[in-house]
Amino acid sequence: MSAPDTREPLVRARNVHKAFESLEVLKGIDLDVMPGEVVVILGPSGSGKSTFLRCINHLEAIGRGSIMVGGEQIGYRMKDGRLVRLSANAIARQRRRIGMVFQQFNLYPHMTVLQNIIEAPVGVHGESRASAVENAKRLLARVGLSEKIDSYPRQLSGGQQQRVAIARALAIRPDLMLFDEPTSALDPELVGEVLNTMRDLARQGLTMIVVTHEIGFAREAADRVVFMDDGVIVEQGTPDAVLGNPQHPRTKAFLARFL
Amino acid sequence: MSTQQAIDASPSGDASVRDVVNAHTPFRYDRLILWVALGALLANFGWIVANNENFEWPVVGRYFFDPTVMQGLYVSLGLTVVAMVLGIALGLVLAVARMSTDRLASTLSAWFIWFFRGTPLLVQLIFWYNLSTLFPVLSISIPFGPTLASWDTNSVITPMTAAIAGLALNEAAYMAEIIRGGLLSVDRGQSETAEAFGMTRARALWRVIIPQAMRSIVPPTGNQLISMIKATSLVSVIAMADLLYSVQSIYNRTFEIIPMLMVAVIWYLLITSILNVGQGYIERYYSRGDRRTGKDGPAEKPTNTTMAEEATH
Ligand SMILES: Nc1ncnc2c1ncn2[C@@H]1O[C@H](COP(=O)(O)OP(=O)(O)O)[C@@H](O)[C@H]1O
Ligand SMILES: [Mg+2]
């Protein structure tokens, strides 16, 4: 990479471990993500990619290690030199600037597109309805779905739903966006429209952590590619380095499947 | 072979015949015969009932809007509404408590549901009514410590409060299970999404989970409401003058038992019919996100068999 970066990382994960019962899923993950950086996480299914993303916004509690986002430790705080667990409402507050886009879109089916987008800004962030609506219209224009503003999610195609889900996540003005396989549930011809939207966001300097199997997207849009397998980071570096000249045999084996 | 040819036949010849806009549905004579037979049977039955002197229809007409009957109807409806509202509110609290990760809350809720579903409503009503013989004084105090306030039980537990307490607490136990089933029917991803967006649990429930759970909560709640209207007739044993009690008070005087019971039956049927229509509207409202066109689609038929437990009262 280029000259040493002196800024603080936006995300700092240290020695993150996570187990479900006796199944160890994350076995010591260290990862720093700089502001404005786009990190793509690759790896075989079951390697713990989704679990790691979900730990970053504390949808899963980690078993060991620490995760800092924007200088705050997620799920905990220091008090009199001791680490104490945060209450559910305090954790909810920490999540307010972290946007998330899910594989299954997870739009609220009983709300229109507009209601989906303004729900968190109005209900969680206390933005006025008028300004939230205005922002929603701007975001819908940006993802190219202005005319769908009053539709219900089930009236949209998968690609359209995912673009609405992206607009919904952007509406909270996130400092960090997490994408968990955003195109994996889409028909092949709909993948492009969603990746285009994400490429735009990457260009505009949004900090993004993207779990995907779209090698092409990783090559073009990522600042860094991280390859995970079996709960550890096996290899990371620039797209050219990791995708063009992988060092580790497991990375080579994984990438060979996409050639 | 020949059918294959027919399907593949030249487009020019068959195309317009094959066009489904020209299709017509064959007339079903068997259905027609059934309809006619059933209609005749019902008409005949209606004729017999209407002309049966023993039903004394003129008496039914005379007492249908009798002030005593009206007063009883008013009590039945009032009790139903109050007990149902309290039952749903408490049922929601119980359902959320039962599903919470807090062991204390879920255990307490489970015990409540176990007790109030496990004992007959009639017995519960009589217990509430006779609370004063068990506990002559009701008081608020620190356990094993000093008393903060106390009341004479008889002044608190009137027939009205006994009826409301009995019906509402029993209803809450059933509603808790209905609401819990509804909440569980909503996709896990929904509460997770709400959480990821920084909503508190209360807000996620209110804005995201409950509106989606309503689709499976409304039909069995309709059942409960109708059961409740009829269950209010049980309060006549604790001297509450509900609809059934008021017609009984009239026929105890006039001995016109059957016509007076017919008055009650017709009122009960009228109310339940109105409720059925209302339920249809509510169901359509909560399935709005389901319509692909956004226009009014065919409303889903309410299923009256959704409830696992029937005849709850
Ligand atoms: N809630 C859970 N309970 C138990 N096991 C889980 C749970 N979530 C994920 N796992 C397991 O953790 C492993 C990693 O899953 P995941 O993070 O989804 O992998 P990936 O996203 O890389 O495909 C898998 O073996 C999966 O079965
Ligand atoms: Mg995954």
Q: CB distance B289–A172 less than 8 Å?
A: no
pLDDT digits (tens, 9 = 90+) for A20-75: 999 999 999 999 999 999 999 999 999 999 999 999 999 999 999 999 999 999 99
Output the pLDDT for position B1: 44
Q: Would you call A95 and B197 a contact, using CB atoms and an 8 Å cutoff? A: yes
- State yes or no: pLDDT of B201 exceeds 70: yes
- How far apart are the CA of A15 and the centre of ligand 1, in A? 18
Contact A106 B197 (CB under 8 A): no
Q: Is the pLDDT of residue B301 over 50?
A: no
Ligand 1 atom 18: residue of nearest CA: A50
Closest-CA residue of B relative to A165 is B193
Instruction: Give me the CATH number covering residue A123.
Output: 3.40.50.300
CB atoms within 10 A of CB A96: 17
Our CA dihedral for A41, A47, A51, A55, rounded to 10 degrees, sits at -60
Atom number of ligand 1 nearest to Cα A45: 23
Judged against a pLDDT cut of 70, whether residue B312 lies above it is answered with no
State the pLDDT at residue B54: 83
Q: Give the Å distance between the CA of A172 and the centre of ligand 1.
A: 28
* More confident site: B286 or A58: A58
Indicate whether A2 belongs to any domain.
no
Q: Is the pLDDT of residue B11 over 70?
A: no
Q: Which of B189, B195, B294 sits opposite A104 (nearest CB)?
A: B189
Q: Is the CB of A45 under 6 A from ligand 1?
A: yes
- Please report the pLDDT score of residue B25 as a whole number: 86
Please tell me if the CB atom of residue A20 comes closer than 6 angstroms to any atom of ligand 1. Answer: yes
User: Is A156 contained in some domain?
Assistant: yes
**A245 has pLDDT over 80:** yes
Residue A4 has a pLDDT of 60
- Find out whether the beta carbon of A95 lies less than 6 Å from any atom of ligand 1: no
pLDDT value for B109 = 95
Choose which residue among A18, A23, A52 to substitute to test ligand 1 binding: the one with the highest number of ligand atoms within 8 A of its C-beta.
A23
The rounded Å distance from CA A54 to ligand 2 centre is 10
CA–CA separation, B241 vs B248, rounded Å?
10
**CA of B203 to nearest chain A CA: how many angstroms apart?**
8
B158, B79 contact by CB (below 8 A): no
Cβ pair A110:B211 closer than 8 A: yes
Are the beta carbons of B216 and B185 closer than 8 angstroms? yes
- Among the bound ligands, name the one nearest to the CA of residue A41: 1
Ligand 1 atom 1 nearest Cα: A20
Does residue A163 have its Cβ closer than 6 Å to ligand 1? Answer: no
Res B302: pLDDT: 40
Judge whether A232 and A28 are in contact, CB under 8 Å: yes
Nearest CA to A213 out of A83, A37, A40 is that of A40
B152-199 pLDDT per residue, tens? 888 877 888 889 999 999 999 999 999 999 999 999 999 999 999 999
Closest C-alpha to ligand 1, atom 10: A20
Q: What is the pLDDT of residue B12?
A: 53
Instruction: Give the CA distances from residue B160 to residues A236, B79, B82, B164, B169, in Å, rounded to whole numbers and listed in that order.
Output: 73, 9, 11, 6, 14
The total number of structural domains in chain A stands at: 1
Best residue for ligand 1 mutational test, from A20, A21, A233 (most atoms within 8 Å of Cβ): A20
Q: Do A110 and B286 touch (CB under 8 A)?
A: yes
Average pLDDT for A104-132: 96
Residue A226 domain flag = yes
Is the CB of residue A172 less than 8 Å from the CB of residue A136?
no
How close B204 comes to chain A (CA, Å)?
10
Q: Which residues of A71-90 are buried (b: 16+ CB within 10 A; e: fewer)?
A: eeebbbeeeeeeeeebeeee
- How far lies B20's CA from each of B10, B14, B24, in Å? 17, 12, 9
pLDDT surpasses 60 at B89? yes
pLDDT band of B13, cuts 50, 70, 90: low
Given this model, what pLDDT does residue B296 score?
Answer: 41
How far apart CA B53 and CA B34 sit, in angstroms, is 31
Task: Enumerate the domain spans of chain B.
Answer: 1-35, 66-287
For the segment A95-112, the average pLDDT, to the nearest whole number, is: 95
Among A14-28, A114-128, B47-61, which is the least confidently predicted range?
B47-61
Ligand 1 atom closest to A181 (CA): 21
Pairwise pLDDT comparison (A91 vs B2), residue with the higher score: A91
Stretch B45-71: mean pLDDT: 89
Q: Which residue of A has its CA nearest to B212?
A: A110
Calculate how far, in angstroms, residue B186's C-alpha sits from the geometric centre of ligand 1: 21
| Banded pLDDT at B2 (limits 50, 70, 90) | very low
Residue nearest to atom 2 of ligand 1 (CA): A20
Q: Which residue has the higher pLDDT, A184 or B145?
A: A184
User: Measured from the CB, is residue A46 less than 6 Å from ligand 1?
Assistant: yes
CATH number of the domain located at residue range(s) B66-287 in this protein: 1.10.3720.10
Atom of ligand 1 nearest to the CA of A52: 17
Q: Which residue, by CA, sits nearest to atom 12 of ligand 1?
A: A25
Q: What is the pLDDT of residue B26?
A: 86
Place B297 in a pLDDT band, splitting at 50, 70 and 90.
very low
For B53-72, the DSSP string reads GGG-HHHHHHHHT-HHHHHH
Domain that holds residue A168: 11-256
Compute the C-alpha angle A110/A116/A120, nearest 5°: 125
Count of alpha carbons within 13 Å of A25, Cβ hemisphere only? Answer: 18
- pLDDT computed for residue A257 by the predictor: 87
* Contact yes or no for B289 and A98 at CB 8 A: no
Q: Please check the confidence at residue B6 and state whether its pLDDT lies above 80.
A: no
Confidence of residue B56 (pLDDT cuts 50, 70, 90): confident
Q: Which of B224, B220, B219, B230 is nearest to B77 (CA)?
A: B230
More confident residue, B312 or A74: A74
**Residue ranges with CB less than 5 Å from ion ligand 2:** A 50
High-pLDDT (> 70) share of chain B, %:
88
Cβ of A258 closer than 6 Å to ligand 1, yes or no, is: no
With CB atoms and an 8 Å threshold, state whether A92 touches B211. Answer: no
| pTM recorded for the entire structure | 0.83
Nearest-angstrom CA–CA distance, B171 and B163: 12
**Average pLDDT of chain B to the nearest whole number:** 85
DSSP character at residue A48: S
Greater confidence (B9 vs B169) lies with: B169
Atom of ligand 1 nearest to the CA of A228: 22
Q: Is residue A85 part of a domain?
A: yes
